[in-house]
Structure 1
Amino acid sequence: MPPAKKRKTAPSAQVPEKQAERDPKEDSAAPEQPDAEKTTADDTKYPSPPPAKPEAPASSTTSAASSAAAAAQERLARFRALQARAKSSSDQNLKEATRESQRLATDPSQLTSLNRKHAIASHKLLKADIEEAGEDFERKRAWDWTVEESERWDKRMRKKEAHRDDTAFKDYARESEKAYKRQLRNMGAPDLERYTREKMAAIEKAAAAGTLDIVETEDGEMIAVDKDGTFFSTADSTAFAQHKPDKAAVDRLVADLRKAEEASLKKRRERMAKNGDDGGDVTYINEKNKQFNQKLARFYNKYTAEIRESFERGTMV
């Protein structure tokens, strides 16, 4: 049996001695491994973590947070203001609607009647108190009025009584006079400046034409004498036909005529409605026949309505 082979082992204590026995020249001559290769080899085994991002400064972060908070506060304040505005608008609308409903529910005639009754009751109560004290009511009440106010009041009362007495029909001449006065009131105040201007222009034109002479009387008064009657109108004058009114005067006249026509038509409709005539077709020849037709219509119109409509359309055979 062959002998077993022996292992060649080096003692652990000799390794550092051999390393120490190495020539220092060889160590200096051997090139050292660059650091890049070492790091590359190490990185392949254990990869290094990614580099951290540079942190922002603390001052910029604080300012951004404060601006965002300020913007949020501003939006919240605007929202609160809009809420308050909407609430006030709704409250105001509710108040106006309530006031409008109360105004529509209140009868103006009833309110006027209540005010009149209250004034009459106050007057009677004051009169009773003054007479109870043994004083003159009219004399005491007159202390609150001046002489001018009292005279205006008496004039107003006399005019009111005269108007009340004049409302009834007396004769056609009086009615025409009242209509004429009413038209004068509606016409408005005259334009005196324009009248004076047109008068002076007419005088100058007549004087330039030689038809008007200025004569001085014995007392020194200056008067104008019209030779042929073109300036001062007489029974034979025709100069008024050459006058042309302005557009405003013509429009006022047309409006007055239209208003009179509308009033006449309104009175006619009221008169016809009062007599039972609705303004439709005339189907009667006298008042008796009219009453008879009305009686027939009252009883039979609901049965003959379709027949009459067919006759009017022309579809009845």
Structure 2
Amino acid sequence: MPRAKKRKTAPSSEEQVVPEKQAKHETSDAPPPDEPAAGQTADKNQSPPPTTTTTEPSASPALLTATAAVATAAQERLARFRALQARAKASSDQNVKEATKESQRLASDPSQLTALNRKHAIASHKLLKADTEEAGEDFERKRAWDWTIEETERWDKRMRKKDAHRDNTAFTNYGRESEKAYKRQLRSMGGPDLERYTREKMAAIEKAAAAGTLDIVETEDGEMIAVDKDGTFFSTADSTAFAQHKPDKAAVDRLVADLRKAEEASLKRRKERMAKNGDDGGDVTYINEKNKQFNQKLARFYNKYTTEIRESFERGTMV
């Protein structure tokens, strides 16, 4: 016969009451959190106990200073970057403008522009002259109102000189040609250095005065005049002080440059003349045009026989 199973039964009322009484006794021993403990009187005006809150530690001054310095440096770098950007943009715009102007200048012919400006000036002059004569006024007198007397005199002198130069362009004699070349060289030299001349003059006067060869004489009008005894400063026919003068390096370099320029111009004219006459620029083996033609005829017939001999002479191997 199988074994009978035990059935679970609910606990009795006594077993349930005992735990409840025991739990109530345990809870009644500890005072409630809001009520005062035994032996203490509750005070309504008594403030509640302070509550403790946890706060984060404050940042140190050194950290704040470092943060501000980093921010300032970043702002400065940003400002410099913006300035560089603006500068680059302005430079790019300027380059574009200059390139546009250069392309326009290259596209237009300067000679054509000059001719158009000249034609415009001539047309304006003729129109003004016609209007002035139609009104019964003097054209030259009206034009003179826009110029001073000094400017008018300089202009008239320039026009007279230009007309004389135009009539004197033909060759007359070698003396006249040398004079024109001399004047042209004087114009290219530029003006004198008056400051340097004044310094050297004062130094020479002081040196002569210290040597006792220069006397300062006062005239009746109160003017001071320097009288040179032996001609060391004021040159005379018997003085030789000019032979002791030594020019400075700049003056010597200017003279050398002028001589080199004249030599280059002479060689250029010679090459142009030889090219015009059909010469190839080789060695000059003639004294005039007839002699040149004769040498060319000899070369045409005998060069094929004498080439080796001439090359041997040039090399120096011919005995």
Shorter-chain TM-score tier: 0.5 to 0.7
Alignment of 1:30-41 (within 5 A): none
Instruction: Work out the percentage of aligned pairs sharing the same amino acid.
Output: 81
Amino acid at match of 1:8: A
For 2:241, the equivalent position in structure 1 comes to 239
Distance, in Å, in 1 between the alignment partners of 2:268 and 2:285 is 23
Count of aligned pairs between the two proteins: 244
Of the three residues 4, 22, 29, the one matched with 1:8 is 4
Q: What CA RMSD, in Å, does the superposition of the two structures yield over aligned residues?
A: 4.6
- The SS at the match of 1:16 is coil
Query: Could you tell which deviates more after superposition, 135-144 or 258-267?
Result: 135-144
Distance, in Å, in 1 between the alignment partners of 2:213 and 2:145 is 64
For 1:43, the equivalent position in structure 2 comes to none
- Structure 2 spans left out of the alignment, 5+ residues: 23-77
Encode CA deviations 1:133-158: one digit per residue, 9 max, x unaligned: 44443333334334343333222222
Of the three residues 251, 254, 258, the one matched with 1:252 is 254
For 1:269, the equivalent position in structure 2 comes to 271
Cα distance change, pair 193–272 in 1 and its aligned pair in 2 (3 A): same
Distance, in Å, in 2 between the alignment partners of 1:109 and 1:294 is 44
Question: Of the two structures, which has the highest relative contact order with CA contacts closer than 8 Å and spacing of 6 or more?
Answer: 1
Distance, in Å, in 2 between the alignment partners of 1:217 and 1:18 is 162
Amino acid at match of 2:161: K
1:195 deviates by 2.7
Amino acid at match of 2:159: M
Encode CA deviations 1:114-173: one digit per residue, 9 max, x unaligned: 211121122223323333444443333334334343333222222222232233333222
Cα distance change, pair 199–127 in 1 and its aligned pair in 2 (3 A): closer
Distance, in Å, in 1 between the alignment partners of 2:174 and 2:259 is 20
Cα distance change, pair 295–132 in 1 and its aligned pair in 2 (3 A): farther
Alignment of 1:129-140 (within 5 A): 129-140=131-142
Amino acid at match of 1:165: D
Distance, in Å, in 2 between the alignment partners of 1:215 and 1:143 is 51
For 1:65, the equivalent position in structure 2 comes to none
Encode CA deviations 1:176-203: one digit per residue, 9 max, x unaligned: 3223333333333323343333334333
TM-score between the two structures when normalised by the length of structure 2: 0.57
Cα distance change, pair 287–19 in 1 and its aligned pair in 2 (3 A): farther
Of the three residues 195, 198, 204, the one matched with 2:197 is 195
Encode CA deviations 1:239-280: one digit per residue, 9 max, x unaligned: 222222222222222222222222222222222233233422
TM-score between the two structures when normalised by the length of structure 1: 0.58
Of the three residues 141, 156, 159, the one matched with 1:157 is 159
Residues 1:99 and 2:101 are matched in the alignment: yes
Cα distance change, pair 133–210 in 1 and its aligned pair in 2 (3 A): closer
For 1:108, the equivalent position in structure 2 comes to 110
Distance, in Å, in 2 between the alignment partners of 1:282 and 1:250 is 33
Alignment of 1:79-98 (within 5 A): 96-98=98-100
For 1:174, the equivalent position in structure 2 comes to 176
1:93 deviates by 5.6
- The SS at the match of 1:189 is coil
Distance, in Å, in 2 between the alignment partners of 1:259 and 1:166 is 25
1:20 deviates by 6.7
1:290 deviates by 4.2
For 2:45, the equivalent position in structure 1 comes to none
1:296 deviates by 12
